[in-house]
Structure 1
Amino acid sequence: MSKMEEISRMLGNYIDPTATKKDVIECLKRYKALTYRYEEYVFNDGTIKQLLNLQGTIPVRYKGNTYHIPICIWLLDTHPKYAPICYVKPTSDMNIKVSIYVDQNGKIYLPYLHDWHDGRSDLLGLIKVMITTFGEFPPVYAKPKEQTPAYPTQTFMPQPPTSGQSKYCPYPTQQQQQFPPYPPAPLSYSGYGQPGAGSSYPPYMPPGMPTTSGYNAGYVNPSSGQGTGTITEEHIKASLVSAVEDKLKRRIQEKVNQCQAEIQTLKRTAQELNEGQTKINDILSRLERDEQEMTKSISVLQDKEQELDRALEALEQADEIDVDEAVITTAPLYKQLLNAYAEEAAIEDAVYFMGEALRSGVIDLEVFLKHVRQLSRKQFMLRALMQKCRQKAGLPA
């Protein structure tokens, strides 16, 4: 089975399978990394439908490098009338970066989807908007890898603690222990193409780490000014506080980003509700205008009915009308034309009823033919007379 036939079979329950297939085929031709599947989609209300989706990666330029962002586009059975549902699908070595365009579940929110219009919107345009948007706001980032600092090979033998020293093993001082949080990892996607060598981070080295070969080189005891290689409880406390602060800051920032994304979603929903309210108000206004026009039409109809009743009543009370005097011509020529027309119409009726009499057996064929010949001659003369009268009167023939 060819690709076209398989897609046509998958779109059997779609409202407009022809337009949907055309949109899908053009998208697959343009973006070779996308593939199509026919799978179940579970909606928020628990409804399950078999829908066609496009999965794969799209190329995104970010800071001079090209990255391949994994996405999934679900086409509703009403496509292309209504917008599809889009998600970012991070791999195991990626995390979702929450923004106004992507929520914590990976669902994509774009103005192009919000303003989707049948006839003007398609999958190619949607992917182009994704590429442009994700080039400014990447939807995923690589998970930071655990890096163990390379310890020096110099052998260190701890000294017995004195009264003014702590019983802990040698440790960097407070200033050297307060490492900043792990820097954001670059966008690199295992299985989706690696960026160039210029985009990889150098090995992470916390600031203040000594570059000499000695383990304790550069560490100074604040009280004595000499390198003792010891740490106090205040150093440990400050280090723990700094670590907790960094962890809290990261969690707070994640919550803030999540809340901002939810706020943007609520704003869009409120905007849609306001637009819906405006449309409903317009419809109500049109209905009120139609009601007023209908009321006016009903009033006019009632007046016409009353006028007709009065005319009928007047006709019933009037004397009998003479048919011959009902129509009065303005000239003798018009009267001659009218009489000829009336006689010609009477002859047509006579011929019709004679035919009915012949069919019923009231008269025989000989009598029928005799009278038809006589009436036909007279009808011919009357029609010639009417034509001549119309020419004399200047009327169209």
Structure 2
Amino acid sequence: MVSSSSIRFIEAALEATGDRALSYVHHGLKWLIRDDLLSLFDDFRTLSPGSDTLTHNDGTTVHLLYAHGVLPVSSSLPPVLLTIWLHQAYPFVAPIVYVFPATGEQMVVHDHPFIAPSGSAVLPYLQTWQYPKSNLSDLARNLVKVFRICHPYGFIPTSPGRTDASLASKREAIDRLVAALHYDVKRFQAQIEEDMKQLCSRQATLRERTDMIDRALGDLELERLRSKEAAKQMVDNADVLSNWLQSHGTESCLYMDEVEGFEAADETDRCLLDNEAAAQAIDDAVEVLGEALAAGSVTFANYIKQVRCLAREQFFHRAMVAKIQRSNESSSERAIC
């Protein structure tokens, strides 16, 4: 039985005018608001009526009725302190439910599947509110069932039990599914964040190795240019020596073989020298890569990849050298005959 003081308070609030008038837009349905509140207080005696100003998220303020108090959940779980505000467009718009900490030790848990960070309840029942199928008493009963599934203060029932899927109502099945999906999403998000951290770490490592390989390749290119410059200098010195030998008459014949060893006589010999030099340069490059692998500057996979490429290129250079040498030998044999 609802107390007479609660009845008088609700009736007086609904009949108030002026500054104390409520903000309900459907004046002809005030009797429905009264009956729904009385039915709620009759079913849940721990709740009591009140009226105050509510500020919506868009900044608008309204004067509304509310039901405040502790909502019993079960014998093994503590009650939940909450306030149920009746929206100014009630009953066509769902009420607004806020959950509060009961004590300093009973705080609302973070990442609750049915409670937003602001403390407002986010229930499938509220999201699918439809008058006249929905009412305050059924909302409170749904809150009890939801809080048994996931208590706002993080308590776990001593004997939770299991609900037979064939006996569970459609509403309860939806609530349990929403809770399960919420925790699955949180678990997946945590796993995704951990995977992202590992991938970022691997990416940083790969970038470091890429920079090391780029520096090694840069050093090899610099060494190639230095070798090319040294070869050019040797050719120039050979030209100077050849000119000097030629200017000294018959003595130049004694050193002609050495001069020909430094300077290519024709395009074929130049091609032979270039390919032989390229093949020997690749040997040097492979040796440098081996030193980088031993020092840990490059990975084994990158080392094998570079060596394979260099070996393939060296094969063609060696083949060209062999071909030219065979051609020169055939020419020499024909000349002797």
TM range (shorter): 0.3 to 0.5
Give the TM-score of the pair, scaled to structure 1. 0.35
The structure that is helix-richer by fraction is 2
Q: How does the TM-score come out when normalised to structure 2?
A: 0.41
Larger relative contact order (CA 8 Å, sep ≥ 6): 1
Which is greater in Rg?
1
